Amino acid sequence: MNLGGSRAVNSLTIQSSSTTRRPGDGVVDPFPAGLRVLVVDDDLICLTVLERMLQKCLYEVTIHNQAEAALELLRRDKTGFDIVLSDVHMPDMDGFKLLECVGLEMDLPVIMMSADDSKDVVMKGVTHGACDYLIKPIHIEALKNIWQHVVRKKKQDRKEMEFEQSGSVEDGEQQQNPLEDADYLSSPYEENRKNSNKRKDEKDEAEEMDDTSTLKKPRVVWSVELHQQFVTAVNQLGIDKAVPKKILELMNVPGLTRENVASHLQKYRLYLRRVSGVSQHPNGLNSSFMGPPDVTFGSISSLNGLGLQALAASGQIPPQSLSTLQAAALGRMAPLIDQRNIFSYENQKFRFGEGHQQLNDNSKQLKLLHGIPTNMEPKQLATMHQSAETLWECPSPIPIKPKRLFSDTVGSTTIKESYFK
Amino acid sequence: MELNRLQRSFLEYTAALFREGFLDSQFSQLYQLQDESNPEFVVEVVSLFFDDSERLINDLSRALDQTNVDFKKIDAHVHQLKGSSSSIGAQRVKNSCVSFRNFCEAQNIEGCLSCLQQVQQEYLLIKNKLEALFQLEKQIVAAGGAINTVEWML
């Protein structure tokens, strides 16, 4: 086995395969062997040990010691990995930021790791949507079962979709045919895989979804611009009345199918639902969330380092600028935004349950960042809240993934020049 | 026989290291990760640790030497050293990092300096001991034997 060449500290990628079973061996199902794991950690010793451990678990491991490069790798091939393990403290990008991006763009399960076992940090992992948090030093036993997060996520996605199906959650919601969204659910197990090994769960997925998951549809890349058109169309129709067919018509993008829009709409709805639940969940208090949805922008200037993302999310910026800003902020780390401070991780105020004052700050922060449409009536918020509550009663926890990409742009288009420094 | 003697020495030596808290169970895990496909794994990882630690300790003494001490940066370095030492089971180094971080938080320069000294000491100790251990291993392999870690029972 070749462990790769130099151990330079700069961007290091090593791909090692430890699957030894070949198709045609017949009898034994290799899963979870061959699970494709991406590990991101600036500590080379840790990376090396983890890589070896994961190989011992018969996983297919890729290691990276630079978060940025890892993110690029993921972006280039969104279906190239099944699960991501990331350290919390990294010099080039905060682990929670990576967690968000991965959840946002690739919708993969992410496990956070750290020697830091303080409750606050672990809580951050929870609220940012990590599916697990491992305390270092990590034992191989802890790694043996990470495949469960991949399977669980699949099941949850399907369950959430069924929730949509039942129509009991939101009024006036268009029924989505689960079969049409099959391509979305089974996408991480798409046919275009390097490894010719067909995994049993892939077949299971196909069976459970009545064979439509075997449809080979090219994945639509929801670029910032495309998503913007989508959001505009949705807002024009009204979130409750937005149906894929009409959205598709409004968007008028050649080559886009109703199915593409349908699955994207589903994700968007789930995002809205989760976002309404995020400010709830950590502390369980309802009253603060029911505060005025129209957050004044006087408060923005007091939120240090939140930058343009917050502004974008609060819907005060027109779509075109938003696209540019998001592109700049999301992928290319524009110098004017200090990405690492976006959530003020070191900010001691970011503690849940520490007094009502802190709570309001939290709620505001979260609201700004996750772009709850500012024109939403309190009643609408209540509906979303209730649906969020229902979701929270599900037996398995639903990871919260703040999807900044889905920030809404409803609202006035006045731009306050002073914010663009 | 020479081989038996060597292997016994190996076991006694490592037992002492565990007993005296120089190494913890994470170290024995490293041996579990070593096999025919990765026969030098432990030596490789430990060498990485040596290089990394020396770099970090140098960075730390430089950082503490500044007129305006950047405690955040120091904390980051110590955090990293804590992480890497715990990854290979260098328990005493790890523990000295814990106290170091407390002094960082308190922004206590004197405390930090004394912690740095301690970290350095612990690092040199474990470095010596592990190098001796690897020497012993080499001798065992040269004598035609293999490393037996089953009896560590950790």
pLDDT digit string, tens, across residues A121-163 = 999 899 888 999 999 899 999 999 999 999 998 888 788 778 7
Which chain B residues contact residue A117 at CB under 8 A?
none
Rounded distance between C-alpha atoms, residue A5 and residue A56, angstroms: 20
Q: What is the pLDDT of residues A199-256, one digit of tens each?
A: 444 444 444 444 444 445 556 677 767 878 888 888 888 888 888 888 888 888 888 8
Residue A222: the pLDDT is: 76
Burial state string for A202-240 with b = 16 or more CB within 10 A and e = fewer than 16: beebbebbeeebeeeeeebebebbbbbbbbbbbbeeebe
Q: Which of B38, B79, B84 is opposite residue A89, by nearest beta carbon? A: B79
**Per-residue pLDDT, A250:** 86
Closest partner CB to A45 (pick from B37, B38, B84): B84
Contact call for residues B1 and B61 (beta carbons, < 8 A): no
In contact, A100 and A129? CB cutoff 8 Å: yes
Under 8 Å between Cβ of A14 and A4: yes
Q: Is the pLDDT of residue B46 over 90?
A: yes
- Look at A49 and B30 and tell me if their CB atoms are within 8 Å: yes
pLDDT at A82: 93
Question: Which residues in chain A touch residue B154, judged by CB atoms under 8 angstroms apart?
Answer: none
Partner residue facing B80 (CB), from A43, A53, A139: A43
The answer to whether the Cβ–Cβ distance between B83 and A136 falls below 8 Å is: yes
Test B82 with A49 for CB contact under 8 angstroms.
no
Q: What ipTM goes with this model?
A: 0.92
Measured between alpha carbons, how far is A79 from A202 in angstroms, rounded to an integer? Answer: 14
d(Cα A39, Cα A50) in Å, to the nearest integer? 8
Tell me the average pLDDT across B88-100. 94
Q: Which chain B residues are closer than 8 Å to A89 by Cβ?
A: 76, 79-80
Cβ separation of A1 and B45 shorter than 8 Å?
no
Residues of A with CB under 8 A from a CB of B: 1, 3, 7, 42-46, 48-49, 52-53, 56, 89, 91, 115-116, 136-137, 139-140
pLDDT at A112: 95
What CA–CA distance (Å, rounded) separates A60 from A20? 11
pTM for this predicted structure: 0.55
Q: Which candidate in B44, B51, B84 is best for mutational testing of the A interface (most A CBs within 10 A)?
A: B84
CB contact under 8 A, A1 and B48: no
CA of A46 vs chain B CAs: smallest distance (Å)? 6
CB contacts of B29 in chain A (<8 Å) are 53, 139-140
Q: Nearest chain A residue to B90 by CA: give it.
A: A137
Task: Collect all residues with Cβ–Cβ distance below 8 Å to B85 and sequence separation of at least 6.
Answer: B49, B53, B91, B93, B94, B97
* Residue A208 or B122, more confident: B122
Nearest alpha-carbon partner for A224 in A296, A317, A110: A317
**With an 8 Å Cβ cutoff, are B38 and A1 in contact?**
yes
Give B58's pLDDT tier (boundaries 50, 70, 90): very high
Closest CA–CA distance from residue B93 to any residue of chain A (Å): 14
Q: State the DSSP string of A171-188.
A: TTPPPPPTTTTHHHHTGG
- Ranges in chain A, pLDDT < 50: 1-11, 13, 15-21, 168-215, 279-421
**A36-40 and A60-64 beta bridge pairing:** parallel
Q: In chain B, count of helices (H) and strands (E)?
A: 6, 0
The verdict on a CB contact (< 8 Å) between B87 and A3 is no
Question: Per-residue pLDDT averaged across B57-86, rounded?
Answer: 92
Predicted confidence at residue A391, as pLDDT, reads 39
